[in-house]
Amino acid sequence: MHNKGLGTWIHRRRVKSAGRPAVTGMGLSYSYDELAERIERLASALEDRGIKPGDRVAYLGINHPAFIETLFAAGLLGAVFVPLNTRLAPPEVQFALQDSGSSVVVVDSGFIELAARAVGDTAVHHVLALAGSAVTEGAAGLSWENYDDAVSASAATVRDVPVALEDAAIILYTSGTTGRPKGAVLTHGNMTWNSYNVLVDYDVPSDAVGLMIAPMFHVASLGMGVLPLLLKGGHVVLQDRFDPSAVIRAIEEFGVTSLSGVPTTYQMLAEHPDWENADLSSLRMLTCGGSAVPVRVMDAYEERGLSFSGGYGMTETAPGATSVPPHYSREKMGSAGLPHFFTDIRIVDAMGEDQPAGSVGEILIQGPNVIREYWNRPDANAVMFEDGDWFKSGDMGYLDEQGFLFISDRIKDMIISGGENIYPAEVEQLIMELDSVSAVAVIGVPDEKWGEVPHAVVTLAEGHSATAEQVIEHLSGRLARYKTPKTVEFVEELPRTASGKIRKADLRARYATALSKRQ
């Protein structure tokens, strides 16, 4: 075949895995041969609406089989898939549509109003809506149609458009916590090699059943879960939101073998009333990202015979950079793991010099899973690489003697107090030892004497209480005094990205002015 990209994956699977379940979600379930036919029909529908190789097709919605269909249909045509974050405001969605130049958008029924407010002044000329009936209202001159009607009315045409691994497959917009969002251009090769890394390092079997609870517009769910599973012929089970009882029911109903989440996800599951009597015998792999798994959460799962595999990555690495083998979860507690099989890691100082084991510096990443460019951002492209092809992550960390990576913090999250560097992750890890704490973020706030000082923002575990004095006392003698938060505040919840990561930029903006007035 001339198409070497993602678009042919389901076509190649349709005979090898005919009759086996491919994707289930939102009351729908398709086998590999059924999914292949739907993808071909959607590709015909997109082609009839003017989509050509290189054109961009956007998707705005929750986890739904249509997301997967749109991704692969775009790949069959040599077009570029643009998944959009449903949590964005209309102007932010509009920016992504304008910047990417998307001309067709597939919209989930719950986000039609958001799409209608965002498509104006963009290149979008067709909207395919997942609704009960065709949508007729929208921007002037814009065609709104029912997605399922368009798919069923189109031909299941087998096509072989030339697509190379170096061609763009997906444009994924970064969160934009500082400045305007950047569109990371993920090639077919980036996503393919990342999938190879997952299959090798996590030993994914062909009978794997993966439950996707994080939104697929986030690269971790897509790159570490959906694509490797479909490449291997596994079964992808989708949920549109995280609900502990629904997760437990799905594990039992579908025989889920792999689950991904952030520490809060696993903590909420372990604290749910159904946890003790849940049948978790099918589970073989638990992966956790975002931050280190608290010891008490690790204990709860080990009591059920389950271990975690953590990892580190980002949109620009498609997304896997490192992973922790489960048998190292205790020995290397707090580590982000070893580089993925086809990926390499370096630690460098501000001058770009390699650092010895144990020395903190910026994390550089190299491999076929690493992007080559941002969309329409020559300014960012000019500074993203070191020594030609090492991606500058913007994260601080160090390697131990065995090559395990330990994350210190984002460069921009590092606190400089009186000339001393403070890495919030170090402080947060100690605070999370308290049973009363469910989540914490340590940020720098203005201080007249020291420039900035650490401030802890804490959410409490259900049924627990704590005081600022108790949190600070827990750190006494375990941290240098300059690293110990000068203030602690308790909140009901912390602002998070769609992937569950805490938005520290939001916290800094929220607390900086208020706290500086107290000094």
Superfamily name with CATH number, domain 6-186: ANL, N-terminal domain (3.40.50.12780)
Q: At what angle do helices 65-77 and 32-48 cross, to 10 degrees?
A: 60
Q: Which pLDDT score, from 0 to 100, does residue 514 have?
A: 53
pLDDT tens, position by position, 351-377:
999 999 999 999 999 999 999 999 999
CA dihedral 195, 199, 205, 206 (to 10 degrees): 30
Instruction: Tally Cβ neighbours within 10 Å of residue 456.
Output: 24
pLDDT tens, position by position, 456-510:
999 999 899 999 999 999 998 888 788 999 999 999 999 987 667 788 888 988 8
Q: Which residue, 466, 473, 517, 472, is CA-closest to 491?
A: 466
Q: Which residue, 338, 198, 172, 337, is CA-closest to 258?
A: 198
Q: Which pLDDT score, from 0 to 100, does residue 290 have?
A: 67
pLDDT tens, position by position, 85-122:
888 888 889 999 999 999 999 999 999 999 999 999 99
Distance from the Cα of residue 358 to its chain's centroid: 28
What secondary structure does DSSP assign to 127-168, as a single string?
EEEESSS----SSTT-EEEEHHHHHHTS--------B-TTSE
Superfamily name with CATH number, domain 414-516: ANL, C-terminal domain (3.30.300.30)
Q: Which pLDDT score, from 0 to 100, does residue 133 have?
A: 46
pLDDT tens, position by position, 311-352:
999 999 999 999 999 889 889 988 999 999 999 999 999 899
Q: Domain boundaries in the chain?
A: 6-186, 414-516
pLDDT tens, position by position, 244-262:
999 999 999 999 999 998 7
Mean pLDDT value across the chain: 91
pLDDT tens, position by position, 387-436:
778 999 989 999 999 999 998 877 778 888 876 778 888 899 889 999 99
User: Using CA atoms, how far apart are residues 11 and 1, in angstroms rounded to an integer?
Assistant: 11
Residue 337 makes CB contacts below 8 A (sequence gap 6+) with 309, 310, 311, 312, 322, 323, 324, 325, 328, 404, 405
pLDDT band at 7 (very low <50, low <70, confident <90, very high): very high
**Cis amide bond preceding 319, omega within 30:** yes
Pairing of strands 235-238, 21-25: parallel
On whether the CB atoms of residues 103 and 56 are closer than 8 A, the answer is: yes
Q: Which residue, 239, 241, 240, 216, is CA-closest to 226?
A: 216
According to DSSP, residue 434 is labeled S
425 vs 220 pLDDT, higher one: 220
pLDDT (average), residues 3-27? 96
Q: Which residue, 162, 164, 131, 172, is CA-closest to 149?
A: 131
Q: Quickly tell me which residue has 């931050």 as its tokens.
A: 291
Q: Which pLDDT score, from 0 to 100, does residue 512 have?
A: 66
pLDDT band at 291 (very low <50, low <70, confident <90, very high): low
| Phi and psi angles of residue 114, each rounded to the nearest 5 degrees, phi first | -60, -45
pTM of the model: 0.85
Q: Quickly tell me which residue has 């798994």 as its tokens.
A: 293
- Measured CA to CA in angstroms, residue 456 lies from 320, 399, 423, 468 at distances of 29, 27, 13, 9
